[in-house]
């Protein structure tokens, strides 16, 4: 089971660095952020709605309870008016009583009227009428020494210039029952004159307002405060008569309204309304109560939103796994290509971008496979060409060694010729006898000259065929130029060496030509030099032919090596120049033929001149001296040819080394190509 889970994880979108898991994370985070933003908006809307509902509900409750409070206060005011408008009662209060009996009767009359009013309702708890220096009456009782000055808040009442004044909850200490009461003060006046007679006090218990107050278990309460901030009534009886918290008192400055306040680290919503007598009915609601229903809704939304996000995430996982599975195939195929396997293909038949990507990927593999096959073929051709070039180089190496050996032979012959020139000087006396023999030799030489002229014509034709081969070699070099990208440095070195070989061959050819001319001038004594010069010329021609063959082969290599194309073009230019040089050689051979004709003509005339030669021994001796000088010059030329031959041997050695390097490079490229499986 663990192996199965590991395999699923390995091949699923939960693998690390997967594109799908990153997309899922991004979409999930965006969905969660959008959900949280929506949740914040819903929270604000619900809070505002709950606040409005609570405020509206509280205002309705306050309005109902305000009516009840106003009913009580108006009832007290009505009782006060009823008492103060009783003419008999006012007259009783105005009389001066000289004896106690009359005063007692007056008191009984007041008791009859006041008690009937007090007992007619359950609101009034005390009624006091205080007339200084006259009569005082209290229901149910009053202290005998009470005057208006001893009545609490009497001074404030007078200063207020109000006909109706409500005291905060206090103990009046006017009677013998000392309870906390809320009292209403009114001025007792003469009904006719309006003269102030005394004070009417009607008291009631703060508990009478309890019916208008609300105290729920959820922490919301209602209480009453007067304009000075004194608590008139409160569910908590211990707070009755005390000052309201200052921050609350400061905000109760309008007829009605609401505000938030922090009370003992608990935030509360305060809603208030004002009764006609100025009292404030205050409704306190804990903010937590406002949040109660909102939090329930938010919790439901959180649960639903979480489920929604989970469903979206699971849907994305399934969809991404299906959508990105073809990408996994492409990734696996790419890994196979990385290891060199080009036989793989991606089988995705969808018509979306991934399907197009897979088709493009397959086309790329096919193109890469075809390129590798073409490269392999090109390398094989390069190796084949390199092998042919190596064979030609080895043949050229052997030919150059033969040329070097021939040059050594020519050098020995030249040295012998110098010795012979010395002997000729000592045999001048016997020169006459040998003139006839020389004539016979010149007749043979005439025949040889004709043969040499025929061979020269054959050589011209052969050189023309070489020119045609050079043209073919130029074409081959142009073909090789396209295959020489990896052999730039090697072909440049080979080009330089080939130029040296061509220059050496041309120098050798010129030296051979000079030797032949000088041999012709020397007559029978230069016959051996002429043969040697002809062999040297042939070897030089063979060297040129080999050089041109190498150049053509290098041009074939240059076909696949673009970086050496410029060098190949230079080689082609050099070959063209060499072709022009060979054309010049043809012209020289033509001149040689003309010279041979002139030699034949001279030989035919030799018999006529023999007698003159016999008579001109001094001239012959001078000629022998000239032959000696020519022989020395020929020896020097042959030494130069020998040095050039050694340079040519070194150049060929360098070409051999370069061809070995070329084969090594081709092998390395082939090893790299063979790593790919096509």
> Does the structure show a pLDDT above 60 at 431?
no
The pLDDT of residue 224 = 92
Tell me what the pLDDT averaged over the chain comes to: 76
User: Would you place residue 14 in the very low, low, confident or very high pLDDT band (cuts 50, 70, 90)?
Assistant: very low
pLDDT, tens only, 435-449: 566 656 656 666 766
> Does the structure show a pLDDT above 50 at 45?
yes
> Does the structure show a pLDDT above 60 at 608?
yes
The pLDDT of residue 339 = 73
Whether residue 140 is preceded by a cis peptide bond, meaning omega within 30 degrees of 0, is yes
Q: What's the mean pLDDT in 134-147?
A: 83
pLDDT, tens only, 202-252: 999 888 887 767 656 567 888 999 888 899 888 888 888 899 888 888 888
User: Would you place residue 8 in the very low, low, confident or very high pLDDT band (cuts 50, 70, 90)?
Assistant: very low
pLDDT, tens only, 624-646: 677 767 767 777 766 777 677 67
Q: Which residue has the tokens 């029952």?
A: 177
Residue 15, phi then psi, degrees to nearest 5: -65, 145
pLDDT, tens only, 306-353: 888 788 878 877 777 776 677 777 777 777 777 777 677 777 777 777
> Does the structure show a pLDDT above 80 at 71?
yes
Q: Are 547 and 396 in contact (CB under 8 A)?
A: yes
pLDDT: which is higher, 389 or 44: 44
User: Would you place residue 473 in the very low, low, confident or very high pLDDT band (cuts 50, 70, 90)?
Assistant: low
> Does the structure show a pLDDT above 70 at 561?
no
Instruction: Provide the 3-class DSSP secondary structure of residue 438.
Output: helix
Q: What's the mean pLDDT in 160-187?
A: 87
User: Would you place residue 674 in the very low, low, confident or very high pLDDT band (cuts 50, 70, 90)?
Assistant: low
User: Would you place residue 5 in the very low, low, confident or very high pLDDT band (cuts 50, 70, 90)?
Assistant: very low
Residue 99: DSSP 8-state: S
pLDDT, tens only, 282-297: 988 887 776 677 777 7
Task: Please give the span between the terminal C-alpha atoms of the chain, in angstroms, as a whole number.
Answer: 40
Q: How far apart are CA 346 and CA 340, in angstroms?
A: 16
Rg for the chain, CA atoms, rounded: 70
Helix residue ranges per DSSP H, 139-226: 154-160
Helix residue ranges per DSSP H, 85-99: 87-94
pLDDT: which is higher, 485 or 149: 149
CA atoms within 13 A on the CB side of 86: 16
The pLDDT of residue 272 = 92
> Does the structure show a pLDDT above 50 at 43?
yes
Residue 482, phi then psi, degrees to nearest 5: -75, -15
The pLDDT > 90 percentage for the chain reads 5
Q: How far apart are CA 18 and CA 341, in angstroms?
A: 24
Q: How far apart are CA 521 and CA 523, in angstroms?
A: 5
Q: What's the mean pLDDT in 517-525?
A: 76
> Does the structure show a pLDDT above 70 at 430?
no
The pLDDT of residue 624 = 66
The pLDDT of residue 184 = 93
Domains and CATH numbers, the chain: 12-326 (3.30.450.20), 395-641 (no CATH)
Highest mean pLDDT among 106-110, 151-155, 498-502: 151-155
Reduce the secondary structure of 531-566 to three states and give it as a string. HHHHHHHHHHHHHHHHHHHHHHHHHHHCECCHHHHH
User: Would you place residue 11 in the very low, low, confident or very high pLDDT band (cuts 50, 70, 90)?
Assistant: very low
Q: What's the mean pLDDT in 490-501?
A: 73
């Amino acid at each position: 089971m663990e192996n199965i889970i590991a395999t699923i994880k390995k091949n699923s979108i939960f693998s690390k660095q997967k594109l799908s898991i990153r997309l899922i994370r991004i979409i999930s985070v965006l969905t969660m952020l959008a959900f949280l933003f929506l949740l914040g908006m819903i929270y604000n809307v619900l809070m505002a709605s709950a606040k409005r509902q609570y405020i509206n509900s509280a205002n309705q409750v306050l309005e109902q309870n305000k009516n009840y409070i106003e009913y009580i206060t108006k009832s007290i005011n009505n009782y006060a008016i009823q008492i103060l408008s009783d003419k008999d009662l006012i007259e009783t209060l105005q009389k001066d009583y000289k004896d106690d009996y009359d005063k007692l009767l007056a008191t009984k009359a007041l008791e009859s009227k006041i008690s009937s009013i007090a007992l007619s309702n359950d609101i009034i708890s005390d009624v006091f009428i205080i007339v200084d220096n006259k009569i005082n009456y209290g229901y149910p009782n009053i202290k005998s020494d009470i005057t208006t000055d001893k009545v609490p808040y009497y001074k404030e009442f007078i200063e207020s210039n109000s006909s109706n004044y409500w005291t905060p909850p206090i103990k009046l200490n006017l009677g013998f029952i000392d309870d906390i009461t809320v009292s209403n003060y009114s001025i007792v006046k003469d009904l006719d004159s309006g003269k102030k007679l005394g004070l009417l006090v009607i008291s009631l218990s703060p508990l009478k307002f309890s019916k208008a107050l609300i105290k729920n278990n959820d922490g919301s309460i209602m209480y009453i405060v007067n304009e000075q901030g004194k608590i008139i009534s409160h569910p908590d009886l211990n707070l009755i008569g005390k000052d309201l918290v200052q921050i609350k008192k400061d905000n109760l400055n309008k007829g009605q309204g609401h505000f938030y306040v922090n009370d003992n680290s608990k935030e509360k919503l305060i809603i208030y309304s004002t009764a006609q007598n100025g009292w404030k009915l205050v409704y306190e609601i804990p903010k937590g109560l406002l949040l109660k229903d909102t939090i329930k809704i938010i919790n439901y939304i959180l649960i639903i939103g979480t489920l929604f996000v989970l469903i979206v995430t699971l849907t994305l996982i399934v969809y991404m796994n299906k959508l990105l599975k073809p990408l996994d195939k492409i990734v696996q195929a790419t890994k196979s290509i990385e290891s060199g396997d080009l036989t793989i293909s991606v089988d995705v038949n969808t018509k979306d971008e991934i399907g197009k990507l897979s088709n493009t990927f397959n086309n790329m593999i096919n193109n890469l496979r075809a390129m590798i096959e073409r490269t392999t073929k090109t390398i094989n051709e390069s190796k084949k060409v390199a092998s042919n070039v190596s064979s030609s180089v080895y043949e050229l190496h052997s030919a150059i060694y033969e040329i070097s050996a021939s040059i050594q032979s020519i050098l020995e012959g030249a040295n012998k010729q110098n010795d012979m020139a010395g002997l000729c000087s000592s045999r001048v006396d016997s020169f006459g006898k040998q003139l006839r023999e020389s004539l016979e030799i010149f007749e043979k030489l005439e025949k040889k000259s004709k043969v040499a002229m025929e061979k020269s014509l054959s050589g011209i034709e052969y050189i023309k065929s070489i020119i045609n081969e050079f043209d073919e070699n130029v074409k081959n070099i142009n073909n090789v130029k396209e295959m020489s990208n990896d052999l730039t440095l090697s072909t440049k070195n080979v080009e330089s060496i080939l130029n040296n070989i061509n220059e050496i061959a041309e120098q050798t050819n010129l030296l051979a030509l000079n030797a032949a001319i000088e041999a012709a001038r020397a007559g029978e004594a230069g016959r051996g030099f002429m043969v040697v010069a002809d062999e040297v010329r042939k070897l030089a021609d063979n060297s040129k032919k080999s050089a041109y063959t190498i150049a053509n082969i290098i041009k074939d290599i240059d076909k696949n090596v673009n970086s050496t194309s410029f060098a190949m073009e230079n080689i082609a230019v050099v070959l063209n120049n060499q072709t022009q040089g060979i054309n010049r050689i043809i012209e020289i051979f033509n001149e040689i033929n003309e010279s041979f004709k002139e030699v034949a003509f001279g030989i035919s005339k030799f018999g006529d001149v023999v007698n003159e030669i016999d008579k001109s021994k001094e001239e012959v001796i001078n000629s022998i001296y000239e032959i000696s000088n020519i022989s020395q010059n020929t020896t020097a030329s042959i030494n130069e040819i020998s040095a050039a031959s050694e340079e040519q041997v070194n150049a060929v050695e360098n070409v051999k080394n370069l061809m070995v390097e070329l084969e090594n490079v081709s092998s390395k490229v082939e090893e790299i190509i063979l790593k790919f499986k096509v």
